[in-house]
Structure 1
Amino acid sequence: MMGLPAGTRIWLVAGHTDMQNGFQGLAAKVVSALQENPLSGHVFVFRGKRGNLIKVLWSTDGGLCLLAKRLERGRFVWPLAQDGKVFLTQAQLSMLLEGINRKQPERTSFNLAIL
């Protein structure tokens, strides 16, 4: 998990997003749809239509970061609302990134490493 500075807000963008969007497309969506500043230092999490891919947009002092994660099995748990944003805690973001349902903590996928 990335270390976020104190006071950083984590916004889960409701609905689904075109995952072909990169830095500029997602930043534009933050401005137009959410009325937020993508360079504010807050974290914005977007989910693709199939539900197995998320992208995280985060601005730091060093620049804009775009992180992506795809589940090989299962889907990321997402709010049913089609529009808007939902605030998450850092713990909830960690569970989301691990594929765990934050309302009913249970893994939706796992990776097995053979050494």
Structure 2
Amino acid sequence: MRKSFDGLCGLVSSGLQRSPTSCEVFVFLNRSRTHIKLLHWESGGFVLYYKRLEQGTFLSPKDGGNEMSWSYLVLMVEGIHVVKSIQKKRYSLV
């Protein structure tokens, strides 16, 4: 968790083969899942969010995948663990 903007951008570019300026949110957790960093590009520059827990741990991303929904990210950062949920179908352009 020592990397800052440039180091995290390097990880995104080389490790994930993604563009750091793609307006996606990139999530980084330490091994013990007590620290989280979110890297995001906004018009004009990068934003880095950092949160350290005094107690407990962050949930692991589901399925260990590389992508997660915005709602899951918000729940993860807030420390809300949903055991069972039903998501209704919504209209989507895509």
TM superposition score category, shorter chain reference:
0.7 to 0.9
Structural mapping, 1:2-17, within 5 Å: none
TM-score (structure 2 length as normaliser): 0.79
Deviation at residue 71 of structure 1 after TM alignment = 1.4
2:80 corresponds to 1:100? yes
Deviation at residue 87 of structure 1 after TM alignment = 1.3
Q: CA RMSD in A?
A: 1.7
**Matched residue, 2:68:** 88
Given candidates 38, 45, 50, the residue that maps to 1:68 is 50
2:45 corresponds to 1:45? no
Kindly name which structure, 1 or 2, has the bigger radius of gyration based on alpha carbons. Answer: 2
Higher share in helix: 2
**Matched residue, 2:60:** 78
More relative contact order, 1 or 2 (CA 8 Å, 6+ apart): 1
Structure 1 ranges of 4+ moved more than 6 A:
none
Secondary structure in 2 aligned to 1:49?
coil
Q: Which moved more, 1:70-79 or 1:40-49?
A: 70-79
Given candidates 55, 67, 70, the residue that maps to 2:37 is 55
The answer to whether the 8 A contact 1:71-1:99 is kept is: no
Q: Distance in 1 between matches of 2:10 and 2:39?
A: 11
